[in-house]
Amino acid sequence: MGDKKSVVVGALKSLHTRGMRFSVSVVMWPNIDWKELESTIRYADSCEPYTIIAILPGYTDRFSDSILFDTVEYWNDTVLRLAALRFGISTPLIAHPRLHEENALGYPANEALVIGITPRSSAARAGLRIGDIITGIDEFNPIYSRRQVDSLLLLKHQQGVDTVDLFIRRGASDLHLRLVSRRATLAASSLVGSREPKRTAWRWSLNNALAIARPIPALAPVMRIAIVGARFSR
């Protein structure tokens, strides 16, 4: 990347230092060694972005008349690697398009499966884990899809609700967790009067609490940085 490498590295660190919300997209090109792609994701994770979106690559016959790589084979291998990598980083790591991972790994269709948790979020404080399946929210129990989870959390936010009872399935156990908003947490610690930057305003949104099965736009603005064919490490 030449000088562009230092620009990308510096930009992520600068955003992190200034406390700005941002998301990172990494295009998983097959001509780049997996170790370099993993290193790129780990470096991005160290800068604490909102989410990291790993874009599965593709092309049309307008780009090349010949077959450049086996898309299905490469995508299957990549989502397997990404699924394993999630347990080694803090940032929610989302494969895009998400449906391919759902099909390749045999996830039940549209299940509210937690694949990532934003650090210091309500979900992180409540003890939610990767692999948990959300089965109920407050009086809405059971629920059957991630779309229901998205809609219900948005409704709670619009109603100004400060706590949400979350029912989950973890392995063979059914658990109850309570999500407490940042606003309520600050009030409990007598910090309500302090000057909180707008970027930390509490939101009941999937991306503020957790990543469920596919990326969903956050309610608050998030800057996205695309890393295309990146070759850099820490």
Looking at residue 203, its pLDDT comes to 39
> Whole domain around residue 149: which residue ranges?
110-212
Residue 127: CATH number of its domain: 2.30.42.10
Residue pLDDT, tens place only, 63-104:
888 888 899 999 999 999 999 999 899 999 999 988 888 888
Closest by alpha carbon to 168, among 128, 227, 213? 128
For residues 43 and 140, membership in a common domain is answered with no
For residues 36 and 116, membership in a common domain is answered with no
Residue count of the chain, please give it. 234
Looking at residue 220, its pLDDT comes to 38
Q: Domain total for the chain?
A: 2
For residues 185 and 227, membership in a common domain is answered with no
Whether 150 shows a pLDDT value over 90: the answer reads no
For residues 83 and 147, membership in a common domain is answered with no
Closest by alpha carbon to 165, among 151, 179, 154, 152? 179
113 DSSP 8-state letter? B
Whether 20 shows a pLDDT value over 70: the answer reads yes
Looking at residue 4, its pLDDT comes to 64
Looking at residue 120, its pLDDT comes to 79
For residues 118 and 100, membership in a common domain is answered with no
DSSP 145-161: -HHHHHHHHHHHHHTT-
For residues 1 and 101, membership in a common domain is answered with yes
For residues 223 and 204, membership in a common domain is answered with no
Alpha-carbon distance 65 to 60, whole Å? 8
Question: How many percent of the chain have pLDDT more than 70?
Answer: 74
Looking at residue 3, its pLDDT comes to 60
Looking at residue 204, its pLDDT comes to 39
94 close to 52: Cβ distance less than 8 angstroms: yes
113 close to 170: Cβ distance less than 8 angstroms: no
Residue pLDDT, tens place only, 158-195:
888 888 899 999 999 999 999 887 665 544 444 444 33
